[in-house]
Amino acid sequence: MKYELRKIYSFLDYIIGGTQLNCTIAIDFTGSNGDPMSPDSLHFISSLAPNQYEKALTAVGEIIQDYDSDKLFPVLGFGARLPPDGRVSHEFFVNMRTDSPYCSGIPGQKPFNFSGFLTHFILYLSFAGVLVSKLNRLGTPAGIDQHL
Protein backbone atom coordinates (compact mmCIF):
# COMPACT_ATOMS: atom_id res chain seq x y z
CA MET A 1 0.00 0.00 0.00
CA LYS A 2 1.29 3.43 -0.94
CA TYR A 3 0.01 6.79 0.18
CA GLU A 4 1.13 10.37 -0.06
CA LEU A 5 0.53 13.19 2.39
CA ARG A 6 -0.03 16.52 0.66
CA LYS A 7 -0.31 19.90 2.27
CA ILE A 8 -3.23 21.96 1.06
CA TYR A 9 -2.16 25.58 0.98
CA SER A 10 -4.52 28.34 2.00
CA PHE A 11 -4.87 31.73 0.36
CA LEU A 12 -2.91 33.22 3.26
CA ASP A 13 -0.08 30.70 2.73
CA TYR A 14 0.30 31.96 -0.85
CA ILE A 15 0.32 35.60 0.26
CA ILE A 16 2.91 34.91 2.99
CA GLY A 17 4.93 33.06 0.36
CA GLY A 18 5.14 36.22 -1.74
CA THR A 19 2.29 35.83 -4.20
CA GLN A 20 1.27 39.17 -5.65
CA LEU A 21 -2.16 39.87 -7.07
CA ASN A 22 -2.50 42.36 -9.87
CA CYS A 23 -5.88 43.31 -11.19
CA THR A 24 -6.36 44.33 -14.82
CA ILE A 25 -9.70 45.99 -15.43
CA ALA A 26 -11.64 46.01 -18.69
CA ILE A 27 -14.59 48.37 -19.08
CA ASP A 28 -17.28 47.85 -21.68
CA PHE A 29 -17.99 51.16 -23.42
CA THR A 30 -20.38 49.68 -25.95
CA GLY A 31 -23.73 51.26 -26.62
CA SER A 32 -25.43 48.20 -25.13
CA ASN A 33 -24.95 49.79 -21.69
CA GLY A 34 -27.42 52.51 -22.60
CA ASP A 35 -27.18 56.27 -22.88
CA PRO A 36 -24.82 57.55 -20.14
CA MET A 37 -27.18 60.51 -19.64
CA SER A 38 -29.99 58.13 -18.63
CA PRO A 39 -30.26 56.96 -14.99
CA ASP A 40 -30.90 53.43 -16.34
CA SER A 41 -27.45 53.25 -17.97
CA LEU A 42 -24.59 51.36 -16.35
CA HIS A 43 -22.44 54.40 -17.23
CA PHE A 44 -24.74 57.01 -15.70
CA ILE A 45 -22.75 59.50 -13.62
CA SER A 46 -24.44 61.03 -10.61
CA SER A 47 -23.08 63.12 -7.77
CA LEU A 48 -25.55 61.32 -5.48
CA ALA A 49 -24.46 57.71 -5.95
CA PRO A 50 -21.88 55.62 -7.81
CA ASN A 51 -22.94 53.84 -10.99
CA GLN A 52 -22.89 50.07 -11.43
CA TYR A 53 -19.34 50.05 -12.80
CA GLU A 54 -18.05 52.17 -9.93
CA LYS A 55 -19.75 49.89 -7.39
CA ALA A 56 -18.29 46.74 -8.92
CA LEU A 57 -14.80 48.20 -9.30
CA THR A 58 -14.83 49.45 -5.72
CA ALA A 59 -16.00 46.10 -4.34
CA VAL A 60 -13.19 44.20 -6.08
CA GLY A 61 -10.57 46.93 -5.76
CA GLU A 62 -10.97 47.40 -2.01
CA ILE A 63 -10.05 43.77 -1.47
CA ILE A 64 -7.37 43.24 -4.08
CA GLN A 65 -5.50 46.51 -3.38
CA ASP A 66 -4.23 45.04 -0.12
CA TYR A 67 -2.43 42.31 -2.06
CA ASP A 68 -1.06 44.57 -4.82
CA SER A 69 2.31 46.09 -3.96
CA ASP A 70 2.18 49.11 -6.30
CA LYS A 71 -1.57 49.80 -6.15
CA LEU A 72 -1.57 50.65 -9.86
CA PHE A 73 -4.42 49.27 -11.91
CA PRO A 74 -4.24 48.90 -15.70
CA VAL A 75 -7.67 49.94 -16.97
CA LEU A 76 -8.55 49.06 -20.56
CA GLY A 77 -11.68 49.93 -22.44
CA PHE A 78 -13.38 48.57 -25.52
CA GLY A 79 -16.24 49.57 -27.77
CA ALA A 80 -15.96 53.35 -27.95
CA ARG A 81 -15.37 56.05 -30.52
CA LEU A 82 -12.27 57.93 -29.39
CA PRO A 83 -11.28 61.55 -29.84
CA PRO A 84 -10.16 63.40 -31.79
CA ASP A 85 -11.30 61.61 -34.95
CA GLY A 86 -14.08 59.40 -33.54
CA ARG A 87 -12.46 56.16 -34.67
CA VAL A 88 -13.88 53.00 -33.08
CA SER A 89 -11.45 51.27 -30.76
CA HIS A 90 -11.78 47.79 -29.31
CA GLU A 91 -8.75 48.18 -27.05
CA PHE A 92 -7.64 51.47 -25.52
CA PHE A 93 -6.24 52.82 -22.28
CA VAL A 94 -9.10 54.43 -20.36
CA ASN A 95 -6.76 57.08 -18.94
CA MET A 96 -6.23 58.28 -22.55
CA ARG A 97 -2.44 58.00 -22.26
CA THR A 98 -0.54 56.31 -25.05
CA ASP A 99 2.36 55.06 -22.93
CA SER A 100 0.70 53.34 -19.97
CA PRO A 101 -2.72 51.93 -19.03
CA TYR A 102 -2.11 52.32 -15.29
CA CYS A 103 -4.39 54.34 -13.02
CA SER A 104 -3.46 55.14 -9.46
CA GLY A 105 -5.93 54.06 -6.84
CA ILE A 106 -8.99 51.88 -6.82
CA PRO A 107 -11.05 52.32 -9.97
CA GLY A 108 -14.45 53.56 -8.91
CA GLN A 109 -13.05 55.69 -6.08
CA LYS A 110 -11.01 58.88 -5.90
CA PRO A 111 -8.46 59.68 -7.29
CA PHE A 112 -9.70 57.44 -10.15
CA ASN A 113 -12.01 59.65 -12.18
CA PHE A 114 -14.52 57.43 -14.00
CA SER A 115 -16.79 60.30 -14.97
CA GLY A 116 -13.83 62.30 -16.26
CA PHE A 117 -12.75 59.44 -18.50
CA LEU A 118 -16.28 58.74 -19.69
CA THR A 119 -16.67 62.24 -21.10
CA HIS A 120 -13.96 61.45 -23.68
CA PHE A 121 -15.78 58.55 -25.32
CA ILE A 122 -18.80 57.96 -27.52
CA LEU A 123 -20.33 54.57 -26.77
CA TYR A 124 -20.37 52.20 -29.73
CA LEU A 125 -20.96 48.54 -30.54
CA SER A 126 -18.00 46.17 -30.37
CA PHE A 127 -16.71 42.68 -29.97
CA ALA A 128 -14.71 42.00 -26.81
CA GLY A 129 -12.58 39.21 -28.27
CA VAL A 130 -9.84 41.64 -29.26
CA LEU A 131 -9.58 42.80 -25.67
CA VAL A 132 -8.88 39.28 -24.43
CA SER A 133 -5.80 39.06 -26.66
CA LYS A 134 -4.61 42.43 -25.33
CA LEU A 135 -5.01 41.30 -21.72
CA ASN A 136 -3.01 38.16 -22.44
CA ARG A 137 -0.10 40.26 -23.72
CA LEU A 138 0.19 42.22 -20.45
CA GLY A 139 2.09 39.40 -18.69
CA THR A 140 5.84 39.33 -18.24
CA PRO A 141 8.11 37.74 -20.86
CA ALA A 142 9.42 35.32 -18.25
CA GLY A 143 6.09 33.53 -18.36
CA ILE A 144 5.80 33.26 -14.60
CA ASP A 145 2.59 35.24 -14.25
CA GLN A 146 -0.76 33.52 -14.08
CA HIS A 147 -3.71 35.27 -15.75
CA LEU A 148 -7.16 34.12 -14.69
Contact assessment for residue 75 and residue 103, using Cβ atoms and an 8 Å cutoff: yes
| Amino acid letter for position 6 | R
- Cα 94–chain centre separation: 9
Number of domain units in the chain: 1
pTM of the model: 0.66
What is the predicted pLDDT for the residue at 135? 58
Q: What digits encode the pLDDT tens for the residues 80-94?
A: 888 888 888 888 888
**N-term to C-term CA, the chain:** 38
Examine residue 13 and state whether it is found in any structural domain, yes or no.
no
What is the predicted pLDDT for the residue at 10? 93
Q: How far apart are CA 12 and CA 40, in angstroms?
A: 40
Q: Is the pLDDT of residue 117 over 80?
A: no
Whole-number mean pLDDT of the chain?
A: 75
* Structural domain span for residue 116: 23-136
Q: Comparing 95 with 111, which gets the higher pLDDT?
A: 95
Examine residue 30 and state whether it is found in any structural domain, yes or no.
yes
Find the range with the poorest average confidence among 13-27, 70-84, 109-123: 109-123
Examine residue 1 and state whether it is found in any structural domain, yes or no.
no
Examine residue 130 and state whether it is found in any structural domain, yes or no.
yes
Examine residue 64 and state whether it is found in any structural domain, yes or no.
yes
For residue 13, name the pLDDT band (cuts at 50, 70, 90): very high
Per cent of the chain over pLDDT 90 is 5
Examine residue 124 and state whether it is found in any structural domain, yes or no.
yes
Q: Comparing 84 with 118, which gets the higher pLDDT?
A: 84
The CA angle 56-58-64, to the nearest 5 degrees, is: 105
Examine residue 67 and state whether it is found in any structural domain, yes or no.
yes
